Structure 1
Amino acid sequence: MRGPAWPIAALLVGYPVWWALGFGGLSVVVLAVPMAVLLWRRRPIRVPPGFGLWLLLLAGYLVSGIMLAETPPGTYGELGPGRIVGYTMRLALYTAVLIMVLYLGNLTERELPQLRLVRMLGVLFVTTVAGGLLGVFLPGFSYTSPVEWLLPRWLGDNPFVQNLIHPTAAQTQKVLGYAMPRPEAPFEWANAWGSNVSVLLVWAVVGWWVYGGPRHKLFVAAVIALAAVPIVYSLNRGLWIGLGLAVLYVIVRVGGRTRVALCGAVAAATLAFALSPLAPLVAQRLDKPHSNDIRAFTVTATLAAARHSPVIGYGNTRNAMGNHRTITTGRTDWCTTCGHPPLGSDGQLWLLIITQGVTGAALYVAFFLRAVRRHWSDRSPIGLAGVLVMGLVLLYMFVYDGLVTPLGLYLVSFALLWRNA
């Protein structure tokens, strides 16, 4: 926590404290303030390749704010505090993660060695696994955070804000036809946990297996074995697909004895999992793809609404009329299946289309595609891992929201690639 890198250590290693206080995903916004001050004093400021694309993304989000009061056909709701709060918080997050990238890229190797940054992400991986186990074994754990106590009721009761400031161990959903807790601690949603654990696992392997000694390897192997429990109980098909593709990517890109050893390890792990009590739960989830209809409805409604403002979007999400089962809007005592997630909540791509139009979506995709193309030739462990994470970003944008915490981890990974070059 000493030296110029203290805000990064406070963010990654100190994340459990932020979560316990009720800041959680907002911690990057808080720490962006000292980062910006320290960065200003270090002028001139180096900027990464693709910096202009992110600035255009931010500028487009500002422009989209002029559409906040509009209600596209097939949706309902009026401009109110909730819509303005959501817009403002997303703007703050987009800005904060950019400041974080600039701060990381302007720290020297002496001030923050690459391996130290990678291992900070590894520490957060351990925190994430611990939170996942908490969600599996104590799913009802939650409490009112200090931030929640201090916020005015009209703000703290906003659903978007509530998910950020109210620490909970799990989301309980009827994914398999009965109530089932899905781990989310220490993040804001179960899907955010799934996205984050996969990204952090990549960096934990690099920091403690590739660059670690025998004790480091033993430790990370044990943590990954424990992580299998919440990963399965998350019932998160996007996470499972992401991990499978990550293994395939590594096998293809490494060579020689490493590839042979990796294939052997994967075969052994697959056999051990197939014989474990976790395998039937995966089979049940694959047999009950109940969320497919929900996602199909929400994505279709998002695209239909976005057609009325295709270039700049609407600044924030909207609520559609009805859901995939009924034209009734809103959950009631006699219709517990009524209601639906906000438009754009089934993936960062769809969120960008409804909030910033196809322009914002194209800029986001271009930013991460450019990172893949530029760093593909970097075959160092950090280079291979960073490109893998950029690929996961482009996969997850179809099924996961990037906001709030996932986007921060995506851009820390981007900064590692930039620093490595």
Structure 2
Amino acid sequence: MTLPDAPTTRSRAAWPIAALLVGYPVWWALGFGGLAVIVLSFPMAYVLWRRRPIRVPRGLGLWALLLAGYVVSALMLTEMPPDTYGEFGAGRIFGYVMRLALYVSLMVMVLYLGNLTERELPQLRLVRMLGVLFLTTVAGGLLGVLFPSFAFTSPLERVLPGWIGGNPFVQNLIHPTAAQIQKVLGHASPRPEAPFEWANAWGSNLSVLLVWFVVGWWVYGGPRRKAVAVLLIAAAAVPVVYSLNRGLWIGLGLAALYLVVRVGGRTRLAICAAGLVGAAVFAASPLADLVTQRIDNPHSNDIRAFTVSATVRAAGGSPFIGYGNTRNAMGNHRTITTGKTDWCTECGHPPLGSDGQLWHLIITQGFVGAALYVAFFVGAIRRHWPDRSPIGLAGVLVMLLVLLYMFVYDGLVTPLSLYLISFALLWRNAHA
């Protein structure tokens, strides 16, 4: 199945999504990064307002309930779960408001994308916009590998008051850096994160964008575009390995298995052949030794086990609506008294809900909120599984990756934007 050629007439109504995806490096440099979707949700909402009545996709009611639950969870912002500490203040309120604004903006974005016509925003054009962001992500990954100390103060960071800009969560969003330096292998190891907020966000986003890059550049690309795609994917392998990101590696393995199962004929044989060739080349390269070292150093397992168990225990105090925002655990996986030192500047009390979107939702919105999130993406898979077009197959794959990554990756901030754009692509495909 092939998509018709995109119309040459470009609609002004589609500029906000182009500004978000194609212009993302500019937002990153300005200090907005993933928060750009909040800014651009206003012109998106204006487009929607002018074309009422608005079409709504099946399943979006679950997202609306998730939003409503988050509003109710504000009642618990002043409360402290068991075995946590911290004072109620402006930082907690600001974090809550920012997350609420993001959830609302993503809902507006889905409605905006689904109500644009095929002539205003052809599917192929939207897919290739995601492909452009994939190129930006690969470039950022290579920057993190080659120049890991690269960083600068953004314009937004300069104008924000200290009580906001100094917050560690906000600092990660507004201060552009090429890589996170972590002692994963027993020594300082740079993990690419540009142009996103964390190394794990880089890994999650790259895998989702790779799916759409393959659709736009390989499935619907000519010989020249396909040749370039092969070279770019090969280049992406370098930061993928240097990211030391086991979740990303597992996600790529799941994607390959999914394609082998769901496609047939010569396409399946081509995927298997490409996989074998790629594995042989990789095994003979210096990158293979780095993967072996990472597998032999699962340093984060104990930390994750501690924060997940502490999150579940704390959520038991408010299982239905959560606590509105995250809290800091009392102690860590080694001791009840811990803090930053000269030799470990990242040590301290780990924030609960920081090891995966599922755990984040459990502490902020309770088990009900987590269930609504899972039901939203499971419902999308169930409805669109019969769609065997390239966009249908790719969209369902992304929904599966969402369910995998929710155990190990935070969805905030940029990953959720890509998840919901993928959901909108599925909706548009079914509507067409």
AA in 1 matched with 2:150 = F
Letter of the 1:191 partner, please give it: N
Letter in 2 for 1:276: S
Letter in 1 for 2:266: R
For 1:333 and 1:236, the matched residues in 2 are separated by: 26
Aligned residue number for residue 137 of structure 1: 146
CA distance in 1, matches of 2:337, 2:174: 30
Q: State the AA in 2 paired with 1:344.
A: G
Q: 1:318 aligns with which of 327, 334, 340?
A: 327
1:46 aligns with 2:46: no
Q: Write the distance in 1 (CA, Å) between the matches of 2:259 and 2:59.
A: 25
Q: How does 1:259-338 map to 2 (within 5 A)?
A: 259-333=268-342, 338=347
Pairing 1:22-33 to 2, within 5 Å after superposition: 22-33=31-42
- For the residues of structure 1 that align with 2:270 and 2:152, how far apart are their CA atoms? 45
Alignment partner of 1:351 is 2:357: no
CA distance in 2, matches of 1:336, 1:120: 38
Counterpart amino acid of residue 113 in structure 2: L
Q: CA deviation at 1:252?
A: 0.5
Pair 1:174-2:183 in alignment: yes
Residue in 2 aligned with 1:155? Answer: 164
In the alignment, the residues of structure 2 paired with residue 76 and residue 51 of structure 1 have an alpha-carbon distance, to the nearest angstrom, of: 35
Unaligned runs of 5+ in 2: 1-9
TM-superposed deviation, 1:340? 3.8
| One-letter amino acid of the counterpart of residue 306, structure 1 | A
Amino acid at match of 1:117: L
Given residue 328 of structure 1, which amino acid in structure 2 is its aligned partner? T
Aligned residues with identical type, % of pairs? 79
Distance in 2 (alpha carbons) for counterparts of 1:120 and 1:221 = 18
How far is the alpha carbon of 1:332 from its aligned partner?
A: 3.1
**RMSD over aligned Cα, in angstroms?**
1.1
Q: How far off its partner does 1:160 sit? A: 1.2
Does 1:219 find its partner at 2:228? yes
How many Å separate the matches in 2 of 1:55 and 1:334? 45
AA at the equivalent of 1:163: N
Whether the 8 Å CA contact 2:77–2:324 is kept in 1: the answer is yes
1:15-414 equivalences under 5 Å are 15-333=24-342, 338-414=347-423
SS of 1:4's equivalent in the other structure is helix
Larger deviation, residues 356-365 vs 157-166: 157-166
Q: Secondary structure at the match of 2:190?
A: strand
The whole-number CA distance in structure 2 between the counterparts of 1:172 and 1:343 is 22
| AA at the equivalent of 2:220 | Y
Contact 1:299 1:344 in 2 (8 A): yes
Q: Distance in 2 between matches of 1:171 and 1:371?
A: 34
Distance 2:318 2:44 in 1: 36
8 A Cα contact 1:182 1:233, kept in partner: yes
Paired letter, 1:349? L
Task: Measure how far apart 1:336 and its partner are.
Answer: 5.8
Residue 5 of structure 1 aligns to a residue in which SS? Answer: helix
Unaligned runs of 5+ in 1: none
Give aligned pairs, total.
Answer: 421
Cα drift, residue 334 of structure 1: 7.7
Work out the CA distance in 2 between the residues paired with 1:390 and 1:235: 23
